[in-house]
Structures are given as structure tokens and as C-alpha cells.
Amino acid sequence: MQNKWQYFLMLVPGIVLTFIFCYIPLYGVIIAFEDYNVGMGFASPWVGWKNFQYLFSQPTFVRTIWNTLFISVWKLALGIVVPVIVAIFLNEMRSNRLKRFYQTLIYIPNFLSWVIMAGVLMDILSSSGAINLILNKLGIGTVNFLGSPRVFPWTMIFSDVWKGFGYGTIIYLAALTGFDPALYESAMLDGASRWQQIKRITLPLLLPTIILMLVLSLGNVLNAGFDQIYNLYSPSVWETGDIIDTYVYRLGIQQAQYSVGAAVGLFKSLISAILVVTSYVLADKVAGYRIL
């Protein structure tokens, strides 16, 4: 190999941009230990743990941690269960054409932005919207999906699962179609019903994929979905719907309390990093999955 220096030349633009936009902000988290003022930038006066002490003395902040965990753990769990069920059912379908057609339909929502999805949800979930019209006809009465603190987290959980289950389904379906048909044929010869086939063959074979997806999503436990919640929440549901990211945004950017905002960001980033590393180590150990 000659001209090796050319390889390094190719790397220069990527390294420079990554350094500026990823590593300088990484250094910038030191403002979490400072009292940031615009004139002095990242070299503002040092205050140590003061911002963190302030944060953890705020009940509104402690509340966001609990809300974040509640929403994201449910999203994680249902975000695995629902796609697995849908994938198994789709796989059981006789007509390949219908199966492919269904598959195409279920992931329309996945690729749309949360702004558009929020617009759609606000329309159909409003008190005079389609869902409440149906609920009223059924005699259940009007549900305040976006304004009631008790209902709001569940609206977030279910609408997120609804938006994303098509994505998960493809992954499981890809795994399912790779299974050896001979297994099913011999099971059928032995008189196994389709239900027994699902339970005894499909599910056990699918388990490694399920574990892999579970482990890989662990790193996201502190991301309860900023795009979704920011576009759908309101002060009346902060009590149960305010998550770490929306809190950072309001405090850090809207109220310009940069240091406190950065402190929350650092706290979250550290826990996330630990979770991501743990999950990748686990994924390697349990499922033999490596990204590099």
C-alpha cells in the first residue's frame, strides 16, 4: 500500500467536524460546575457541585426522573411485545401478497416526524375528535387524553408503540423468515397445532433476537421521547408528563439557565453512557452482537 497519507487526508474533514461539534460540547459540560455567563463562555466562575445540589433539591426535577423511567420502561416493554406478536401473526398468514401489503401499511407512521404525528394525534384525540366521538357512541364518555395527568403518560406510551411497532415488526419478521421450514413440517407430521408450533418452535427461536433488541434498547431508558412529549404536553400534565429532556429544554434554553441545564444534561449523559456500555457488553455476551 503506497500513499498511505492519503487515507489520513480523507479522515481530516470528519475528524475536524466531529472534534468541533462533538468534543468541544463534551468539554463544554464543565459549565455544569460553573456559573455560566455569556461574556466568559466555558471559562466562567467555578461553583463546584452547587448546580447539582440545586437540582436535586427541586421536587420538579426529581419528579421528571420518575416520569422518564415510568414512560420509557413501559414504551420499552410494549415496544417489544407488540411487534413480536404482530410479526408472529403476519408470519402465520397464508396469503403472501396480503402479508406484504399489511407490512407496508404498518410502518407508514414510523418514518413521519413527531410534529406531524402530534398534529394528527391532537386532531383525533381532542374532546371533539374522532376517538372521543366513538367513545361517546359506545357510552364510555369523553376521555381527556392529552390534558389529564392520569391519562397523559398512557397516551404517550400507546401512541409511541403505535408509531413504532412497524419498525420492530420488520426486524422480527426478518428473523422469522430465516427459520428452517423443516422444523415446522416435522412438527406438523407429529400433529402439532399451529398454536403449539408458535409456542414450541417460533418463540424459542425468536428469543435471541428479542433479547438482543431488549439489551440494545437499555441505553435509551433515559430517553422517554422528547420530540413526542414536547409536541403534545402542556403545563396541566407536567406532574406526570414532564421528562428529563423537556425539563432541560425549558430550564436551559427557554429560561437561559445554561449551567443548571448542562448539569441535568451531564447527569443524564453519564447514566446513559453507563447503560449503553453495559448493554453492548451484554449484547456481545448474550447474543454475540458487535457493532465494530
Partner 1 sequence: MKKKTTVFDVVLAVVMGIVCVTCVLPFIHLLAVSFSSSTAVAAGQVAFWPVDFTTASYEYVITGGKFLRAMSISLQRVVLGTLLNVVLMVLTAYPLSKDNLPCRNLLSGFFVLTMLVSGGMIPTYLLVSGLGLKDTIWSLILPGALPVYNMIILMNFIRGLPHEIEEAAWIDGASPFQTLVQVVFPLLGHSLATVGLFCMVGHWNDWFSGMIYMSDPANYPLQTYLQTLLVNFEQLLQSDTTSNIQEILSRMNARTGRAAQLFLGALPIMCVYPFLQRYFTKGLTLGSVKG
Q: Binders of partner 1 among 48-77, rule CB under 8 A?
A: none
Q: Name which of residues 213 to 242 contact partner 1 (CB under 8 A).
A: 226-227, 231
How far is it, in rounded angstroms, from Cα 210 to Cα 286? Answer: 11
Task: Choose which of 79, 153, 168, 261 interacts with partner 1 (CB under 8 A).
Answer: 261
Nearer CB in complex with partner 1: 47/171: 171
Nearer CB in complex with partner 1: 17/150: 17
- Contact window for partner 1 (CB under 8 A) among 70-78, 148-156, 164-172, 235-243: 164-172
Q: Name which of residues 5 to 24 contact partner 1 (CB under 8 A).
A: 6-11, 13-15, 17-18, 20-24
154 binds partner 1 (CB under 8 A): no
- Contact window for partner 1 (CB under 8 A) among 34-42, 47-55, 59-67, 73-81: 34-42
39 binds partner 1 (CB under 8 A): no
What are the beta bridge partners of residue 34?
46
Task: Choose which of 79, 83, 164, 265 interacts with partner 1 (CB under 8 A).
Answer: 265
Q: Name which of residues 123 to 142 contact partner 1 (CB under 8 A).
A: 123-124, 128, 130, 133
Q: Name which of residues 193 to 212 contact partner 1 (CB under 8 A).
A: 194
Cell (9 digits) for 83: 411487534
With b for 16 or more beta-carbon neighbours within 10 A and e for fewer, the 3-24 pattern comes to eeeeeeeeeeeeeeeeeeeeee
Site size toward partner 1 (CB under 8 A) is: 94
Nearer CB in complex with partner 1: 37/150: 37
**C-beta pairs of 159-163 under 8 Å, 24+ apart in sequence:** 159/117, 159/121, 159/228, 159/232, 160/75, 160/79, 160/225, 160/228, 161/75, 161/78, 161/79, 161/82, 162/109, 163/109, 163/110, 163/112, 163/114, 163/117, 163/228
Element (H, E) at 198: none
25 binds partner 1 (CB under 8 A): yes
Backbone φ and ψ of 228, nearest 5°: -70, -55
How far is it, in rounded angstroms, from Cα 230 to Cα 241? Answer: 9
In the block, cell 440545586 appears at 54
